[in-house]
Structure 1
């Protein structure tokens, strides 16, 4: 059974992504410890300085949080938040977030402050809120999952960020560079609740975040998320200029006006190759982290499994159970 609330003396088990520099990480660590210490709360904190260790550290901290009635907390970007949330769901413990990424869609959707000291203070009087998650095969996603061009874009963006720094401008320019490059279109068959769609597309994007849908101009999909579904978006095969046009529409919040776009909502979706293909595995991005998965891909929505500490002052717009 999942916990209904965090006790006033519940300990916090914080998984802190080391980020880009030692001094910045040290400042974040001291901020977290100082705010929680001043409030008289116990803080167990581990710094992840090697991405390969993130899963093991998240699993260990979530296990300790479950055993001791505490809260496991992810301090980092969407990828870190995803990994720690996965272990929180597995262990059935409470989950907190200290957003430290570029876009912070998950944190912003739930009213979690982006300033670290404010986010830590928000944990102290937060209310427990069940949050909808998406799953693709055995992996969860809080914001989105995708195949095709989008995972390539993410890999290129991470490489560019390592060279030029983490900023939204770098992310946008990297996306333009990848879109103008070479990529192989997908030929897929999608089955959602008995309806089959065959499509040749550069990318399939599955969304689970209201704010992201609203920002690109897909308001109907935002409504679907509020009603406990996921949103599938895939452009029909277009040239590079057509893809640039779609990127521009998304940046301007007008993607929903495009006439070369397939978009629908669902609770379960199966995706397989439309024809015989030598590729049995495919790159899948979940909240910015790229892995390989076996086809077919099975997407589904799962409600109420992630118990999030949401700031008490956050507005309640009917999205409490949605990511």
Structure 2
């Protein structure tokens, strides 16, 4: 097998990168120790879009996102329009896509695993032209996320203040009136505390927080949370720990190939793959099946092939 050519984009501003003391020198040494060649861009003075374009223009066949979910999504947005593969070194707080793919969360193990990974085609979603790989959330959740970002890196006093803000904001949160229209022609009005549109469904299971086994169903999954009081926060958290959160009575789950969300508000605040943004309404969601090639551990690729073969066999057995 021809050795891959890696081009790594390091987000030096990532809290995890700074906490671990990760530098281009430490990464270069890790790659060399595992017999891998890599070009590393750790330039803090150049804007990320320019760094990404430089990576796309390189002769590398695989672009590595070394950072959190925001860095991964930014690189994926450019890669889907190229012939490159995306790879992930999980150096963020949540590392959601890396967890879904089964990428090792230990940095040295993740570098070593790159040698034996294979391309896997996964779905990509967008809202009003903005790409996301995991989910976009509307309602009280983005406001809480913005508060979390504000206190990041600050002391214990700020964190205690955020906890107070969290419970105060939850107790005073007002519901949003939204019109939800799906591509099949159905329309409904919902009053919600939060609504999430996810690229593929989340799975249940003991301790499985926001994990997806399937990344190529070609379906958006819509999670409508009709109320979120203090008691609901604890019930949902306990349900997730126990692995049966889907049966929560305030939560409605549906799927669609496309979704349009309308509001009386001219703009809505969203949390898109962990990044808070404000977008003009209406919000138009769509999904692009298997639009992104991402390196995954061989076990995940083999499972995907087995699933495809099983689906094909099932289709052949259907009566004409």
Q: Do structure 1's residue 10 and structure 2's residue 1 form an aligned pair?
A: no
Aligned residue in 1 for 2:84: 93
1:137 aligns with 2:128: yes
Aligned to 2:292, which of 279, 282, 306? 306
Q: Structure 1 residue 260: deviation in Å?
A: 1.8
CA distance 1:23–1:243, shift in 2 (3 Å): closer
Equivalent in the alignment of 2:225? 235
Matched, 1:64 2:50: no
Q: Which residue is equivalent to 1:266?
A: 256
Q: How many residues align?
A: 302
**What corresponds to 1:293 in structure 2?**
279
SS at match of 2:93: coil
Query: What's the offset of the Cα at 1:41?
Result: 3.9
- Judging changes above 3 Å, is the alpha-carbon distance between structure 1 residues 21 and 69 closer, same or farther for their aligned structure 2 residues? closer
Measured in 2, the distance between the counterparts of 1:292 and 1:157 equals 17
Q: Deviations over 1:228-252 (max 9, x none)?
A: 3121111114544445543443454
> 2: CA distance between counterparts of 1:242 and 1:23?
35
Work out the CA distance in 2 between the residues paired with 1:225 and 1:217.
Answer: 19
Q: Which residue is equivalent to 1:3?
A: none
Q: For residue 44 of structure 1, what is the aligned residue in structure 2?
A: 39
CA distance in structure 1 between the aligned counterparts of 2:36 and 2:227, rounded to whole angstroms? 54
Compared CA separation, residues 11 and 134, structure 1 to 2 (3 A) = same
**Kept in 1: contact 2:181–2:259 (CA 8 A):** yes
Structure number with larger C-alpha Rg: 2
Post-superposition shift, 1:179? 5.0
Is 1:53 aligned to residue 47 of structure 2?
A: yes
User: What root-mean-square deviation, in Å, do the aligned CA atoms of Structure 1 and Structure 2 show?
Assistant: 3.5
Q: CA deviation at 1:14?
A: 0.8
Deviation at 1:263, TM superposition (A): 1.1
What's the TM-score, normalizing by structure 1?
0.80
Which 5+ residue runs of structure 1 have no aligned equivalent?
A: 1-6
CA distance in 1, matches of 2:97, 2:281: 27
What pairs up with 1:143-162 in 2 under 5 angstroms?
Answer: 143-162=134-153
Does the aligned pair in 2 maintain the 1:11–1:71 contact within 8 Å?
yes
